[in-house]
Amino acid sequence: MTYSMKKHLVVAFTALVSFAAVAQDRPSILWEVTGNGLSQPSYLLATIKFVGEKEYFMPPEAVAKMKNCRSFAIEDQVDHHAQHELNKALHFPKGQSLAGAMSAADYQRVVQFFEQEFGIKKAVFEKKYARLKPLALSITMTRLSLGEKVRFYDIELLKLAKSNGLRSYSLESIDREAQALNSFPMADQVKALLHSVDNFETQKAEFRKLMEDYPHGNLEEIFAYTLHPLDNYESFVNEFYFKRNREWEPKLEKMMAENPSFIAVGVSHLEGREGLLELLRAKGYSLTPVPISAR
């Protein structure tokens, strides 16, 4: 199978990889984990990094299941230090910028695109956006296209967990995600960014569809958004998804054995031949989709 990196990897920040979906009787973004000696069920929720304020939806079933848990986990830390470290990973080092990562002609295409699409003049672009690495700039383009405030599922779920008195954990340090992000070669990031610039109307429509599909658990549709047939980036997929999944799996087992747990990870980490659903099944757990009410 050929794996391809989506232009804006709702990464990252995240969300997001399209793999052959595990066969399931009905689609869902929420999964109950039982068996293999667990005394009580735990839950896995597939998330996307952000959605528009108007499109935000927290499944009532997820809210209800969380109340039955004692521990909560998300991928990374959500605090000032973590944000600082992630920002470092998504920006060029001091003294460098996007202008030095691509040809002068391609850089001018990006500058003109930001002015035509968002009304951002060159001086503002170079001051505020040009230090973002291409991957981060693609994500920023998606956020700007919404024309509204966005909400982050990790933050909303963390608030919910705290209000229910759950102990909160992160599955890895932010440095680990930064390391994975930086494994995407700069030349490929530039190629993906230029693809976004040239196909932005399609990209906007796809992201709108992603936000519509997410609450309904149409995972194959969601996955189809997260990648496109631009090129073969199997090495990045292995580094950003598969390796991290394998690192997280024993942590999930430990959490679930100690307490009923509610674990929220990007949708791309659940599915696929080395997704968390398959890794847990291979260890003897039963994974059952939990139906989600209509919005």
Q: How many domains does the chain have?
A: 1
Residue 14 domain flag: no
Q: What is the pLDDT along the chain (295 residues), one digit of tens a residue?
A: 333 334 333 333 333 333 223 334 457 889 999 999 999 999 999 988 888 888 888 999 999 999 999 999 999 876 666 677 778 888 999 999 999 999 999 999 999 999 999 999 999 999 999 999 998 898 899 889 888 888 989 999 999 999 999 999 999 988 888 888 788 889 988 998 999 899 999 888 888 888 877 777 665 566 555 544 333 467 777 888 889 999 999 999 999 999 999 999 988 888 778 889 999 999 999 999 999 886 6
Residue 217 domain flag: yes
Identify the CA nearest to 242 among candidates 278, 207, 216. 278
> What is the spatial distance between Cα 248 and Cα 75, in angstroms, rounded to a whole number?
9
Q: Is 30 helix (H, G, I), strand (E, B) or coil?
A: strand
Residue 221 domain flag: yes
Q: How far is residue 11 from each of residues 61, 221, 227, 240, measured CA to CA in Å?
A: 25, 17, 11, 9
Residue 120 domain flag: no
Residue 171 domain flag: yes
> What is the spatial distance between Cα 153 and Cα 13, in angstroms, rounded to a whole number?
11
Identify the CA nearest to 19 among candidates 249, 191, 270. 270
Residue 161 domain flag: yes
Dihedral of alpha carbons 51, 56, 59, 62, sign? positive
Q: Domain span at residue 239?
A: 30-91+132-290
Residue 39 domain flag: yes
Residue 191 is encoded by which pair of tokens? 């190629």
pLDDT digits (tens, 9 = 90+) for 40-53: 999 999 988 888 88
> What is the spatial distance between Cα 138 and Cα 271, in angstroms, rounded to a whole number?
24
What is the residue whose two structure tokens read 């944000």? 83
Residue 112 domain flag: no
Q: Is 170 helix (H, G, I), strand (E, B) or coil?
A: strand
> What is the spatial distance between Cα 189 and Cα 136, in angstroms, rounded to a whole number?
9
CA 5 to chain centre: 12
DSSP code string of 42-96: EEEEEE-SEEETTT----HHHHHHHTT-SEEEESS--SHHHHHHHHHHHBPPTT-
Identify the CA nearest to 262 among candidates 78, 68, 50. 68
DSSP 8-state symbol, 132: B
pLDDT digits (tens, 9 = 90+) for 54-85: 888 899 999 999 999 999 999 987 666 667 77
> What is the spatial distance between Cα 202 and Cα 240, in angstroms, rounded to a whole number?
25
Q: Are 264 and 153 in contact (CB under 8 A)?
A: yes
